[in-house]
Structure 1
Amino acid sequence: MTVKRKERPVKTLALGRPPTVQKPRSISRKATRALINTIHQLEKKKAQAVAKGDRAAEAAADSEIASLGGIQKYQQASLQGQRNDRGGDSSRVLMEWLKPKFSASGLTADGSVHMLEVGALSTTNECSKSGFFDMERIDLNSQGDGILQQDFMKRPLPTDDTQTFDIISLSLVLNFVPDAPGRGDMLLRTLDFLKQPDMTETHDAFPCLFLVLPAPCVTNSRYMDEPLLERIMNALGYVKTNSKITQKLVYYLWRRTLRVSIKVPTFKKAELRSGSTRNNFSIVLRGLTA
């Protein structure tokens, strides 16, 4: 049975992650990196302004983003980064982790694994081409056929188990939620859409959450590091099964191990590391009692 939770008012993800465009032109690797990093910083300034109710600062951030070409240029850079000659899409890492588990359990590429990809950019990534998954893809601004235009935080809750998933992908999505409590709410909401764990299954892969973040979110934040992220995920009933850190990104695969989360503790924003070069990425859990 799906765990019923009291709905909280949520902020639309449109305040954070920019939407997509359909036909990006090629831009250089250096320009791609610079544009993404700059807009990331501006989005953080905008989120802080929204949280403080500072409309002037919010408008200033919007103006700077527009001067760089706006969300269209940002998405062009994001799509360009998924090209094979730029390192490929993040689902390649996921498939590297899952294929041995599939092999060990005898699972074949029969499309039986139900997957929800939040913030989908393409219908031809490694997961889509593998044949293992029955894919559902959503994004704030769909690029076309195969990607539903939908905000995950406004997606209707499942009414039965047929509407839940074996795996959810949040690749470079959580970092675009406008504020720390909203990020905690998104992680909590994944529990409503994942299947309940079945301890009788012969494999140890599902249900699970694939999470990808910019590496500085955990390696250079004042308020977040890997031990804290793991404590937060453990509190939600997740156990880390795989992880990978590169210069730019961190990849995690979290398996859901608890059938029902009776109580989720509160995790507040607190400084872990000082320094003027740190960023302010954080995740806040507001607690939950069933």
Structure 2
Amino acid sequence: MAAKKKKPKSLSAGRPPVAHRAKSMSRSATKALINKHHLLQKRKRQAIAKGDKAEIAAIEAEIEALGGLKTYQEASLQGQRHDRGGDSSRVLMQWLTPCLSAHLRQDSERRRLHMLEVGALSTENACSKSGHFDIVRIDLNSQGDGILQQDFMERPLPRDESERFDIISLSLVLNYVPEPKDRGEMLRRTTRFLRAPGRYIGDDPQLAAHFPSLFLVLPAPCVTNSRYLDEERLGAIMESLGYVKVASKMTQRLVYYLWRRDKIGGGKEASFPKKEIRSGSTRNNFAVVLS
């Protein structure tokens, strides 16, 4: 009897493989397929919670009719190609290169900074080629050498400062987390993997202004057209977690942020439930919940 196929982890469906280049799809077709898949996965989770086996089977049949996980992943990968936003770490390096170059001039023996790249798709991006970082790359669905197959939410917590990072990259990762409360938990968890705030102050003022930090990239509509999230609310959530915004950039498709871990928490951590802040039938339902 053939072995049963393993079901993907709850967060893994959104992370595309890197081994093969999918046949080109139009932007609208790519977006429609991804959105439909997300909707079916949401309905499936609801059916599982209710124990409705018939509904679960019907939804799984719909997913297979769309081409299954493979087609969805190919669409996700296509959305990350150069003509759809490309290597987001190029923006990060535009922000950090002046700081890192100055640090290099001041201290030719300086250690390379420690980076954790969550949802890594390539070992050849701008950060990898810069020579400034020792990078640990993880992905739920790794198909490339140099990328560890691992769920960030299950990664063992650092035992000491040597296992923490100067910077974490969450580029087009948070939007693939299925539930709003899990997105909040992912952001909260990043603080446990970053080095202690203020460790660079006596070392280099440029480094102190930028590290330890979180590089966060989202589809622009997550903050520009959501019922439940805008830049002000995202900023309040991040501030509650002890972050301060260092840089940001918005394009038609993507929004980029660099958040410095400024303190350990923001005093008493605030609660951010799912709350409508913008109405309208054309809004999306992207939300981040902290409880």
Taking structure 1 as the reference length, the TM-score comes to 0.85
Segment of structure 1 superposing worse, 32-41 or 116-125: 32-41
Unaligned runs of 5+ in 2: 1-6
**Match of residue 6 from structure 1:** none
**Match of residue 127 from structure 1:** 127
% identical equivalent positions: 56
Superimposed CA distance per residue, residues 113-160 of structure 1 (whole angstroms, 9 cap, x where no aligned partner): 100010111111111111111010001111131000100000000001
Equivalences for residues 144-223 of structure 1 within 5 A: 144-198=144-198, 199-200=201-202, 201-203=204-206, 204-223=209-228
**Match of residue 117 from structure 1:** 117
2:226–2:286 CA contact under 8 A, matched in 1: yes
Structure 1: 4+ residue segments shifted above 6 A: 107-111
| Letter aligned with residue 144 of structure 1 | G
Superimposed CA distance per residue, residues 151-173 of structure 1 (whole angstroms, 9 cap, x where no aligned partner): 00000000011110000011111
- Using the TM superposition, give the Cα deviation of residue 229 of structure 1 relative to its aligned residue in structure 2, in angstroms: 0.3
- Using the TM superposition, give the Cα deviation of residue 276 of structure 1 relative to its aligned residue in structure 2, in angstroms: 1.1
Residue aligned with 1:196, SS? coil
Which of 216, 234, 237 is matched with 2:239 structurally?
234
Superimposed CA distance per residue, residues 237-283 of structure 1 (whole angstroms, 9 cap, x where no aligned partner): 11111111111111111011004555311111110111111111111
Asked if 1:266 corresponds to 2:271, the answer is yes
| Letter aligned with residue 211 of structure 1 | L
Unaligned runs of 5+ in 1: 1-11
Aligned length: 274
1:46–1:58 CA contact under 8 A, matched in 2: no
- Using the TM superposition, give the Cα deviation of residue 192 of structure 1 relative to its aligned residue in structure 2, in angstroms: 0.6
1:16–1:43 CA contact under 8 A, matched in 2: no
Superimposed CA distance per residue, residues 163-218 of structure 1 (whole angstroms, 9 cap, x where no aligned partner): 10000011111111111111110000001100011233422111000111111111
- Using the TM superposition, give the Cα deviation of residue 81 of structure 1 relative to its aligned residue in structure 2, in angstroms: 4.1
1-side partners of 2:158 and 2:145: how far apart?
Answer: 23
- Using the TM superposition, give the Cα deviation of residue 80 of structure 1 relative to its aligned residue in structure 2, in angstroms: 3.5
Residue aligned with 1:233, SS? helix
1:13–1:153 CA contact under 8 A, matched in 2: no
Segment of structure 1 superposing worse, 159-168 or 81-90: 81-90
Superimposed CA distance per residue, residues 21-44 of structure 1 (whole angstroms, 9 cap, x where no aligned partner): 3532343351x5522443234314
2-side partners of 1:230 and 1:159: how far apart?
Answer: 29
Segment of structure 1 superposing worse, 81-90 or 271-280: 81-90
Seen in structure 2, the aligned counterparts of structure 1 residues 49 and 82 have a Cα distance that, compared at 3 Å, is closer
1:42–1:64 CA contact under 8 A, matched in 2: no
Seen in structure 2, the aligned counterparts of structure 1 residues 61 and 116 have a Cα distance that, compared at 3 Å, is farther
**Match of residue 3 from structure 2:** none
Asked if 1:257 corresponds to 2:262, the answer is yes
1-side partners of 2:78 and 2:71: how far apart?
Answer: 10
| Letter aligned with residue 147 of structure 1 | I
Superimposed CA distance per residue, residues 62-94 of structure 1 (whole angstroms, 9 cap, x where no aligned partner): 443332322222332333344445542111111
Residue aligned with 1:74, SS? helix
Seen in structure 2, the aligned counterparts of structure 1 residues 246 and 17 have a Cα distance that, compared at 3 Å, is farther
2-side partners of 1:171 and 1:110: how far apart?
Answer: 27
1-side partners of 2:59 and 2:127: how far apart?
Answer: 35
Segment of structure 1 superposing worse, 110-119 or 228-237: 110-119
Segment of structure 1 superposing worse, 160-169 or 76-85: 76-85
**Match of residue 137 from structure 2:** 137
Asked if 1:65 corresponds to 2:63, the answer is yes
Seen in structure 2, the aligned counterparts of structure 1 residues 87 and 174 have a Cα distance that, compared at 3 Å, is closer
Asked if 1:50 corresponds to 2:53, the answer is no
Structure showing greater Rg: 2
Residue aligned with 2:269, SS? strand
1-side partners of 2:169 and 2:256: how far apart?
Answer: 11
